[in-house]
Amino acid sequence: MITTLGHSSTNAQETDPRLHPDGDGWGLKRATITDPQRPRVLLIGDSILTGYHADVVAALEGQAYVDVWINPYHQSQGYNDLLSAALDAGPYDVVHFNMGLHGWPPGRIKEGTFEPLTKAFVEVIRKKLPNAAIIWASSTPLMLAGKPTQLDPINNPTIIEHNRMAAKVMAEMNIPVNDFYAFLVPDKLDLARGDIAHWTPPAYKILAEAATASIEKALAEKSQRPTSGDSDFAK
């Protein structure tokens, strides 16, 4: 049986109607925990996470409890503060995250701040969860509305540049990467749904399988090495 999730609403809002949550809203969905010895996973992402998280939860059933934080935020000090509070729902053994589809509109992220804010985001996780494995997923592309196989020539370059800068930060911080963008571009654009950002179930299955594989690898590696202090798996 798929892990039971309870939805916790937030005051999160997105003013751009094109970037809707694509589901039952923004918020933190928490697993029902019955075995405190089982490891815990946190998935963080935007509306793309809405599309693939259920497959990850199902695939990890019996292996880990999965919490899901779907939000419309982008790089900012405010987001980093919210992250710190969200991590109090843990502790977590693996955090798989991405952010990007809400940061491309002009003016949302000040020039020169993307990399330091992204680095600070990772540092929040490391400070709150020193034993957790962290995995970053790149942002998926932006397409032309009504022309799903055509990348948006105006806005998608921003996604590409943000992915480049984020990948640079992850390389510097030794964070493994799920390249969601490359999984879909150029070969899978026919799986886009027809709006500017969302996808059909086969595309989400591709992302879910990649996320699951990376999480399972991280959990296996953690189970084979001692941690400082109390074991994350035992909390």
| Strands of the sheet with 5-9, listed across from one edge | 5-9, 27-31, 65-70, 40-45, 94-97, 133-137, 177-178
Terminal-residue alpha carbon distance, the chain:
23
* Confidence grade of residue 127 (pLDDT, cut at 50, 70, 90): very high
Task: Look at residues 68, 74, 100, 57 and name the one whose alpha carbon lies nearest to residue 12.
Answer: 74
Q: What's the mean pLDDT in 207-234?
A: 79
Name the DSSP class of 85: H
Q: How many CA atoms lie within 13 A of 190 on its CB side?
A: 1
pTM (two decimals): 0.89
Q: Which pair of structure tokens corresponds to residue 209?
A: 């399988």
Across 71-213, where does the E strand assignment appear? Answer: 94-97, 133-137, 143-144, 147-151, 177-178
Pick among 3.40.50.300, 3.40.50.1110, 2.10.60.10, 3.40.50.970: CATH of 5-225: 3.40.50.1110
26 has pLDDT over 60: yes
CA 127 to chain centre: 19
Q: What's the mean pLDDT in 129-137?
A: 97
Q: Give 27-62 pLDDT, tens digit per residue.
A: 899 999 999 999 999 999 999 999 999 999 999 999
Q: What's the mean pLDDT in 103-130?
A: 91
Q: What is the mean pLDDT of the chain?
A: 88
Q: What are phi and psi of 204, to 5 degrees?
A: -65, -30
* Confidence grade of residue 2 (pLDDT, cut at 50, 70, 90): very low
Q: Which pair of structure tokens corresponds to residue 138?
A: 């790149």
Task: Look at residues 107, 48, 99 and name the one whose alpha carbon lies nearest to residue 73.
Answer: 99
| Sequence spans of domains, the chain | 5-225
